[in-house]
Structure 1
Amino acid sequence: MRRTLVLISASLLTLAACTTPNKGTPAPAGTTQSQAPPASSTDGVPKVTNPIDTARFKQAPCDTLTRAQIAELLGSEATSTPDLNAQSGPTCRWNVPEVSQASVSVTYIKANTAGLTAIYAKRNTTFPFFQPMESINGYPTVAYGLVDERSDGRCAIALGTSDQEVIDVAIAQSEKNIGKSDPCAAAHNVVSKVLDNLRKVN
């Protein structure tokens, strides 16, 4: 079976208050809407000049990635599990049952109405791991987390689809692939696929 990335969802990070996570499990502590942070804490937040309408995908989050894309990332035996009522927001998780650490998840964050501003406001505090990534066709991305789990093959990236909304893409590599490549680079590759699919219907 081909597994180009072989990926497990890292702690699913909401942009509201968060609890201390257990590795590999969701860790939202609440879904209250983000308040506007002080300007000094959000310097350098990239703007989204061409917002994307994600309403369709919020109703069917597993349509965010195609079967062919998932097969490329995880193998043809990967299965999908949608959760429209997830605390963080509509979510889809893809995994390979016989590979404990292999999965990809995409979440349309509902707890945050401030977009990437909410993440930038919590850099070095709630999110000690904070690493701006290269934008994709003008859409900003940032890798972030309650802890830096790259050494465990995990990474989560927020994609700004507007100045008010973000999509969280979390991946983890299989045990045998940990250390062979940067998991945040792998996650960025998945984000690129997600963005391409979103733009095709906008």
Structure 2
Amino acid sequence: MTLLSRTGRAAVALSAAALLAGCGAQETSGEPQSTSRPSQDLHGAPKVQNSLDTTAFHREPCSVLKPEQISALEMTQWKPEADLDSTGGPSCDWGYMGGPPDYTVSRTAVTFMVNGHGLKGTYSKRGKGVFEYFRELKPIEGYPAVAAGSTAGGTPEEEAACEVEVGVTDALSVLTQVNLGNGSPYQGDPCGRARAVATEVVQTLKAGA
């Protein structure tokens, strides 16, 4: 079982804390950095070409998925819960209790990592034992993305859980986490599911509040 399934919302904070660790204390968090900064400051992360303003969603993080998107993602029965004070930044956690015989909980969380350092923070810890997995993904709606996070010892496919992080500025990312309970049709491809949710999130951000 993954960290997210063990502790529910607490796992969002734990994973966010891992993303926050390891960057220089002199860096400011949450604010887009100058595009003129040397590329080596990004620790190998792709540069964000068209920064997105996410500020309006920091106050209402659950509004990042609109009703029609919730329907398209088959999450109409999922209960959203906002947390404006989570470790990484404002987040929304959607939870769903499955039916018989298992009644296992599935969760999807979206966190605006205003207390982090964007994808460069994640890239800076690649191969340093912070994450059990790290995969570069094709851009999502034109924005760089990775699947990177911690499981209890297996792959995302084995654990039915995945974390997809999208860089929306050079200094800010949006983290989408999924943890799939028994019976979920997406268990075999949790990163594909996380990418689908992240795609809807970025589409909302591009459209504006």
- Shorter-chain TM-score range: 0.7 to 0.9
1:137 alignment partner AA: E
Superposed displacement of residue 181, structure 1? 3.1
Superposed displacement of residue 72, structure 1? 3.2
State the aligned residue count: 183
SS state at 1:34 partner: coil
- 1:81 matched to 2:81? The reply is yes
Superposed displacement of residue 127, structure 1? 1.5
1:136 alignment partner AA: I
| Counterpart contact for 2:157–2:188, Cα < 8 Å | no
Superposed displacement of residue 71, structure 1? 3.2
Q: Separation in 2 of the partners of 1:56 and 1:160?
A: 17
Scaled by the length of structure 1, the TM-score of the pair is: 0.78
- Counterpart in 1 of 2:33? none
Identity level (%): 26
- 1:34 matched to 2:41? The reply is no
Q: Separation in 1 of the partners of 2:175 and 2:198?
A: 9
- 1:115 matched to 2:104? The reply is no
1:86 alignment partner AA: S
- Counterpart in 2 of 1:160? 167
| Cα deviation digits, residues 96-149 of structure 1 (max 9, x gap) | 24453322110011331x311110111122123100111023200100012343
- Counterpart in 2 of 1:58? 58
| Cα deviation digits, residues 126-178 of structure 1 (max 9, x gap) | 12310011102320010001234331210001110000000100012231237
| Counterpart contact for 1:154–1:170, Cα < 8 Å | yes
1:90-109 equivalence runs, <5 A = 90-98=90-98, 99-109=103-113
Q: Separation in 2 of the partners of 1:54 and 1:75?
A: 23
Which segments of 5 or more consecutive residues in structure 2 lack a partner in the other structure?
28-39
